[in-house]
Every structure is written in C-alpha cells, then in structure tokens.
Structure 1
Amino acid sequence: MDFDLSDDQQQLREAVRRWVDKAYGFERHRAIAAAGGFSAEAWGELAGLGLTALAVPEAHGGLGWGAVEAMLVMEELGRGLLLEPYAPAALMVPALLAAAPAELQSRWLPAIAAGDALVVPAHQERGARHRLALVETRAAPVGTQWLLDGGKSLVPAGDQADALLVSARVHGAVDAPDGLALFLVERRAGGLQCRGHGLQDGARAAELQLHDTPATLLAGPGAAWAALEQAVDVGLAALCAEAVGVMAALLALTADHLNTRHQFGVPIARFQALRHRIADARMQLELARSMSWLATLRLADEPAVRRRAVSMAKLQIGRSARFVGQQCVQLHGAIGVTDDCIASHHFKRLTCIELTLGDTLHHLGDLSAGLQDSAGVFA
C-alpha cells in the first residue's frame, strides 16, 4: 500500500499548517476560549482557506475531497488546538446531508462550502451513554410538517449554528435503530431553546430543548440510521487524526522543555529516566498514528468493517492520549498544570477527545461484543 502523499495533499497540509502557525497561536486560542469558545472570524478564515468546502461535493460548490485529505487537515488543526467545531460542521454534516432530498442539499451545501452557514449535528442525549440508537426525542407528523419534542446535549457550538441536524424517533422502542429519522431544524424555529456553555478544553457546546419545534425531514427510518452511523464514523476518524496532531505538538514542546530546562548544570533531557519516558510517549504517538490511518482508510468499506476499524482506532487513541498527556504534563513539572502553560491545554483537549463520540470503555465494549468464541482463529 502506498502511503506517500500527492503534491496536492502536501500543499493542503502545508497551507493549513501555515495558517495555524501564523493566525491561530496560543494567545488567540486563549482569547477565543475566554470569549466563549467560538470565533465567527476564525470560521471565516477557515472558509477562506477552502476548508469548509473540503467534504462538500463539487456539484454543490465544494472541493469533493476525501477522507485522507480530511485526516491531514484534522492533524494540523489539532496541532493548533482549534476550538471551532470543524469536524462536526464541515465533515459530519456533509455526510448526513448526502441522504437528504435534492432541494435540501441545494439549499444548504453551497452555503456550508462558502462558510456562510454553520450547520451542526445534534444527536447526543443525556443518559444515552454514547449509545447512538438510544434516542428519546420524538417526531410526529402534523399536517404537512413534522414537530419535534425532546432534548439534545453537548451540541457543538449549537447556539451559534444556523441550523441543526437532529435525530428523532418516529416509532419503535427507545433504542431501536430502525425507528429513527433525521430532521433539519433552523435556529430560529419556534419551540427551540438553546443554552450555550463552555467545555473543559475551552470549546463551546449547547443544550437543546425542543417543544413542538417544526422541522424538515432529512432522512426517514432505515436511511437515517445508515447516514447517522456513517457520519459518526467520519467524526470518529477525524477525532483520531486531531488527537494525533495534538499529541505530536505536545511531544514537540515537551522535548523543547527538556532541552531548555537545566538541573545540576545540564539540560534535563540528558537524564536517562526522562529520555525513556519521552521515548515511551513517542511510541504511543506512533501507535495512535497508525490506527488513525486505519480508521481513515476503512471509511469506504462496508459498515461492519468500517465500524470495527474506527472503534479500534478510538480505543487506541484513548489509551495513547491519556499516556502521552500524563507523561508530558509530568515532565513539565508543576507548571504543566497551570493555565499559562500550553501543555495543560493540550492535555485538556486530549481528555475531551477521549470522551467524545464514545469513550475508551464504550468502544472496548463494542469490540468485545463482536468477538467470536474462537476469536476468528478457526474461522
């Protein structure tokens, strides 16, 4: 398998890296976090780079690029600790809208590609514990429209979005995948209450309450579940790539710290015990990177293979992120846990990534449930 990047892919990576280095430094990150966790100006700059058009089909004004390009972008944005919800809005939403009627696609996809509309998914609910099919929000047809009742939690920048893609149940048991449908709810729809709040890493999320809220049907039962699974897997692969970028940046600045700080008249990087710890962290990063590649390259496979690959990647990412974060913060000493030290912000972002779209234990459980008695050895 050829893992070399094309010239276009290299140029894309370098363009995003230059923007992160020049326009999204640590001070801007802290300023955006202090102001609420979302910057419309920064989102406009991402659109100016063409990143909001990355996953939008060319027929709707996008670039129509694929999973590898998205992975490269997410790694570089991870290095910069981007607070804006790029993966949910620019990668997951186009995957969901692929199941929508043509008129909905024509209305929203060009605006998303141009950066004129921020649309985010709203599928998580309190008490679901990362179970995608457990949805209590209900949808009922009333005349020619649908009305939604329920609540959604941890919606990325939900109070800043122009529209929300909401999962709701039209029939069946509370955890039955075949009873789910997807709806588009505009931000100013009646009966929609949205409360924004900050997250531990400085980003922004919102809690939604819907009461007789009018919505447009995006995908009905059956098609909705397939689209939702696909979009979440795209989001998981993006999170894995972002975590690789965060860990790479954290390791680099930790190595600089070890080479700069002196003890007993020499740089502490010369102490063998510390060198072993940074080497172990580097190994965890490379394990995470290889699994991120696996998740990305499996996104085009059949659902069962795809879901297993992204779960394996998220499991390894969770383990690597915890190890790298803990080691690098400890190697910084007491300053590593302060707000003025960028290492603490990397660790907080890694912690939030581990808890997003299913934590380590959730994906371990999913993988364990799929094991056969023979573990496939005699199959």
Structure 2
Amino acid sequence: MDFSLGEDRQMLVDTLGRFLAGNFDWKTRETVIETAEGWSRPVWAQLAKLGVIGALFDEASGGFGGSAFDIGVVFAEVGKALAVGPFLGTLLAGRALAATGETALLEQAIAGEVILSAALDSDAAQGVADGEGWALTGTQPVVPFAASADRIVVAARTGEGPSLFLIEKGAPGIEIRDYPLIDGGAAGELMLDGAAATLLGQAGEASAIIEEAVAAGLVALCWEAVAIMDSLKVQTLEYLRTRKQFGIAIGKFQALQHRMATLALEIEQARSSAINAADRFAKGRLEREKAVSAAKFTIGRVGSLAAEEAIQMHGGIGMTWELPLSHYAKRLVMIGHQLGDEDMHLERFIALGQDALATAS
C-alpha cells in the first residue's frame, strides 16, 4: 500500500509547517495563550490566505481538499507546532454547514471572515418551533472557542428527532461562560434560554450529519495526537542523549532503552490506526465509524503512555511550565478526552462490530 502524501498534499504540509515555524514559535504561543481569547486572529487570517482552512473542505463547499487525509495532514502540523485556534470547531461546524447546503457561510469561514464553532451534543439542548423560526434551550459544555465564534452550529432534540441549528453571537437568550484550557486555547459553556436559531437542513434528519462531522473531527484529533507523540519522542531521546548520570548519558542505560523501544513501537501502532481511520473514512458508514473509534481508543491508550513516559524519563523537569514537553503532554492527555475517551470508543467499537454481525446474519 502506498502511504505517500502526493505532491499537492506534501506542498500543503511544507507550506503550513514553514508558516507555523516562522509565525507561531514557542514565544508566540506563550503570549497568545495568555490573552483573553486564547488564540491569534492575525495568524488565523494568514492561515486562511494560505488556503489552510480551505484544505479541510471540498471544492463544492468552497474549499480545495476535504478528504480525510487532507484533514489529517493539516492537524498533524497543528499538533507539531502545538498551535491554538478554532481548528476543530471550524472543521465540525463546516462539515455540518456543507452537508446542509449552507456553503455561503462556510465560504466566509474559509476566507477567515467568520469564526465558527460547534456544539454537537443533541441531548444537551431542546429545539422548539417558534413562529417562523426556532428557539433553543439547554446547556452545551466545553464548546471550543465559544466566546470568539461569530456563529455556532448547535445540535438539539426536536419533536422530529435530532436537528441542527445556527445561532449568532450576541443574540438574546445566549450566554457564554468562557475559560482558558489547561492545554492552551479556550472553551466556553454555552447556555441557551429560548435563543433564536435558524434550522439547518430538515428537522429530525441530523443524526447522520452529526456522526460524519464527528468522525472527521476524530480523524483530525488522531493525526494531531500522533504528531504530538512524535514530538515527545524526539524531545525525550534528545534528553536521554544529553542528560548524564554517573558520568555517562542516561540513554546508555538498558532499562531506559527498553522503555523507549516499547514507546516507539506503540507510537507506530497509533500512527497505523490514524492512517486506517483516514483510509476507511469514505468506505461507508460502518467501516468509517469502526475505524475512527478504533483509532481514538488506540490514541487514548498510547497517548497516556507517551505522556507518562516522556515526563518520567525527564524527571522533575518534565512537569515544569517552562519546558515545552509538559505542554505537549497536556495537549495529548486532553485529546484523549475530546469527542469521547478510550473507554467510550472501545464500547462503541464492540457495539458496531455486533451490528455488523447482526446485519451479515
């Protein structure tokens, strides 16, 4: 099987990697995450001009990519640089907008003119028809960069079933309690009290759209996580080569060599699962969902191991705020809980396998 990225995708990777290296170095990141918004609008605008946001969506939606591998390579570079911004919220909301035909707004987001976010837990809000529109009531927790978003795609229950809605920043009935995240960036608790909303698509027909959007988000997180694991591995190997004890580099100690070898093998397993999730994304609903849940389970398990081993082999310094490694480890642990943790996805993978057996019989 050919795992090469292809010329166009490799060009995207190289361009994004160079841009982040030159415009989002560690000092810039430290400054940005301490701001009220927790991200940089100028950097986001430049990413839009480079076409990075457009790479997440297909041509019919105003982008130029949109495949699972396009999503994966973008988020891998985000992970490598530990960049913060509304990447995940834009991806989730944008996939929902594209699926419901709202391409005009999505094109504005791709151009960097509108900031999007998404709250896709349909059990957390209730939608009720209100004249010619809809009113939403409920609370959606941990909405990425909620306070910065101009528009938020919200999932809610209706009499017809799970539905998708669009709400505008500052509209009556909307309150956002924003807060910084431990791994950088920001999120917010979205509280809706009869908030005016616009229905996206048809009422009661959002389940498949939400599932596909979340699957895209899972692919993104898995590729981001593998890139972070690679960074942790490189930083730890460098430390083992330079840190000396009893007059020799601690990397010479056989016990630590065995631990690093085990970690390297586990990271390759995680990489394979992320590649498989991207490869199976367009193979039908069951194949896609099994692959993304398997990948998220693997990422959660290996991510915890990578974070723990990197910090332990660095000793006390591995926990300090001044060392970039601790920030990579925090982000990796956070990814393990986003869009479902490893326990949830293990249960889901088993259930999907049982569904497949029942269908086959």
Aligned to 1:129: none
For residues 137 and 372 of structure 1, the distance between their equivalents in structure 2, rounded to whole angstroms, comes to: 30
Does residue 66 of the first structure (1) align with residue 67 of the second (2)? Answer: yes
Distance 1:54 1:5 in 2: 14
| Number of residues of Structure 1 aligned to a counterpart in Structure 2 | 359
- Is the contact made by 2:318 and 2:326 (CA closer than 8 Å) also made in structure 1? yes
Q: Residue 232 in 1 paired to residue 185 in 2?
A: no
SS class of match (2:336) = helix
Distance in 1 of aligned mates of 2:292 and 2:79: 18
1:326 aligns with 2:308: yes
Which residue in 1 is equivalent to 2:3? Answer: 3
2: CA distance, partners of 1:114 / 1:234: 20
Going from structure 1 to structure 2, the CA distance change for 1:227 and 1:65 (only over 3 Å counts) comes to closer
Q: Which ranges of 4 or more aligned residues in structure 1 deviate by more than 6 Å? A: 373-376
Deviation at 1:12, TM superposition (A): 1.1
Matched, 1:206 2:188: yes
Closer, same or farther in 2 for the Cα pair 1:374/1:59, shift >3 Å? closer
The aligned counterpart of 1:127 is none
For residues 60-110 of structure 1, what are the alpha-carbon distances to aligned partners after superposition, in whole Å with 9 as ceiling and x for unaligned? Answer: 542234221211111111011112121321x22221012224xx322x022
Matches within 5 A, 1:247-262: 247-262=229-244
Task: Measure the CA separation in 2 of the matches of 1:136 and 1:231.
Answer: 17
By how many angstroms is 1:169 displaced?
Answer: 1.0
CA deviation string 1:119-168 (max 9, x = no partner): 111124xxxxxxxx5x1411111211111111111000000001000001
1:317 aligns with 2:305: no
CA distance in 2, matches of 1:358, 1:255: 31
The normalised TM-score by structure 1 is: 0.90
1:34 equivalent to 2:34? Answer yes
Amino acid at match of 2:284: E
The normalised TM-score by structure 2 is 0.94
1:185 to 163, 167, 174: 167
Among 132, 136, 146, which residue is 1:148 paired with? Answer: 136
Comparing 311-320 and 299-308, the one that deviates more:
299-308
Superposed, 1:162-177 pairs within 5 Å as 162-171=150-159
Of the three residues 275, 283, 286, the one matched with 1:304 is 286
Q: How does 1:1-379 map to 2 (within 5 A)?
A: 1-36=1-36, 37-89=38-90, 91-101=91-101, 104-106=102-104, 108-124=105-121, 135-171=123-159, 179-372=161-354
Q: Which runs of 5+ in 1 are unaligned?
A: 125-132, 172-177
Taking the aligned partners of 1:163 and 1:20, their CA distance within structure 2 comes to 26
- Are 1:180 and 1:220, in contact at CA under 8 Å, matched by a contact in 2? no
Secondary structure in structure 2 of the residue aligned to 1:201: coil
Aligned-partner Cα distance in 1 for 2:124–2:183: 28
Per the TM alignment, residue 375 of structure 1 is displaced from its structure 2 partner at its CA by: 8.0
- Stretches of structure 2 that go unaligned for 5 or more consecutive residues are none
Are the counterparts in 1 of residues 161 and 205 from structure 2 also a CA contact under 8 Å? Answer: no
Conserved 8 A contact 1:53-1:63 = yes
| Cross-structure match for 1:175 | none
Percent identity between the two aligned chains: 36
Does the 8 A contact of 1:150 with 1:211 survive in 2?
yes
Say if 1:56 and 1:109, in contact at 8 Å, map to a contact too: no
- Counterparts of 2:227 and 2:56, CA distance in 1: 20
Measure, in 1, the Cα distance between the counterparts of 2:352 and 2:289: 11
Shift of 1:367: 1.9
Residue 174 of structure 1 is matched in structure 2 by none
Compare 5-14 and 348-357 and name the one that shifted more.
5-14
| RMSD over aligned Cα atoms | 2.0
